[in-house]
Amino acid sequence: MKIGILSRNQSLYSTRRLIEAAQQRGHEVAVIDALRCYMNINSSEPEIHFKGQQLSGFDAIVPRIGASVTFYGCAVLRQFEMMGVYPLNESVAITRSRDKLRSLQLLSRKGVGMPITGFASKPDDVKDLLEMVGGTPVVIKLLEGTQGIGVVLAETRKAAESVIEAFMGLKANIMVQEYIKEAGGADIRCFVIGDRVIAAMKRQAQEGEFRSNLHRGGSATLVKISPEERRTAIAAAKAMGLNVAGVDLLRSERGPLVMEVNSSPGLEGIEKATGKDIASMIISFIEKNAAAKRTATRGKG
């Protein structure tokens, strides 16, 4: 097969591992910077050009689209979809998961456990907003934040009001979430492929920090998850429509709670923590499903 990887940097660990895994299984691989692509949008033969050449003949596309380029990256991915190329994750699913508010509303509709969350544009009563999520301490998050940036733990009402007012003054969109104290600054990253959790790791925040992101200095270790945690992670990925997802769970007194569903989960932390060849599992999933799509397309013809 000819597989394209939408990535801005082929030396990144995740991109590099996917290239290695695909080549080891005999596939041709091309790394494509979505921002360098330009498109011919027409009803007969949609095209994508890259560095002066038309991109054609691809069987599958693996989107590794950074949060900052979601809009254009998904537009390029959509164009590949229009050309009949199999996407590992569809553009609509990526867009859905990147919108933090929309993703939580979808999880809520599907009955997936999550922290109580408040959202407001200009709350007339910050006190009521805080009470709505169970009072302080609370976690205040920028909707556009990634990798733990724009996430603040406010331990008192006074601190929460100050942070909310500061963010509002910057015209930032924020969410206010209950603080799950019993999680102890740790979360579980479940790596979902298809309808299975194929690996899981526990991420523990460093001393004095509540954000467990590896980018914030957190540590990762292998963890055994419960059947309920497994079901929750799979349900969360399905709610977004993602074939491959990193689902972040908190262990709470009322069961697993989904914090976030990541459409481009990194491979480095989880491969090193679990010792699993996740890149090869992703390529294997593509082989099965891209082939099935081709067969279905031929059947329609």
The answer to the question of whether 9 is labelled as a binding residue is no
Residue 272 phi/psi, 5-degree rounding, is -70, -35
Return the bridge partners of 186, or none: 204
Q: How far is CA 13 from the centre of its chain?
A: 17
How many angstroms separate the CA atoms of 65 and 48, rounded? 17
Residue 234 phi/psi, 5-degree rounding, is -65, -40
How many angstroms separate the CA atoms of 136 and 118, rounded? 13
Q: Which residues of 74-86 are buried (b: 16+ CB within 10 A; e: fewer)?
A: bebbbbbbbeebb
The answer to the question of whether 189 is labelled as a binding residue is no
The answer to the question of whether 179 is labelled as a binding residue is yes
Closest CA to 17 of 200, 244, 267: 267
Q: Annotate 135-191 with three-state secondary structure.
A: CCCEEEEECCCCCCCCEEEECCHHHHHHHHHHHHHCCCCEEEEECCHHHCCEEEEEE
The answer to the question of whether 187 is labelled as a binding residue is yes
The answer to the question of whether 40 is labelled as a binding residue is no
Q: Are 218 and 211 in contact (CB under 8 A)?
A: yes
CA 264, 121, 124: angle at the middle one, nearest 5?
150
Is the torsion defined by CA of 7, 233, 116, 253 positive or negative?
negative
The answer to the question of whether 38 is labelled as a binding residue is no
The answer to the question of whether 72 is labelled as a binding residue is no
The answer to the question of whether 102 is labelled as a binding residue is no
The answer to the question of whether 33 is labelled as a binding residue is no
The answer to the question of whether 289 is labelled as a binding residue is no
Q: Are 191 and 270 in contact (CB under 8 A)?
A: yes
Q: Which residues of 267-285 are buried (b: 16+ CB within 10 A; e: fewer)?
A: bebbbebbebbbbbbbbeb
> Which residues are documented as binding site for Mg(2+)?
248, 260, 262
> Which residues are documented as binding site for ATP?
141, 178-179, 187, 211-213
> Which residues are documented as binding site?
141, 178-179, 187, 211-213, 248, 260, 262
> Which residues are documented as binding site for Mn(2+)?
248, 260, 262
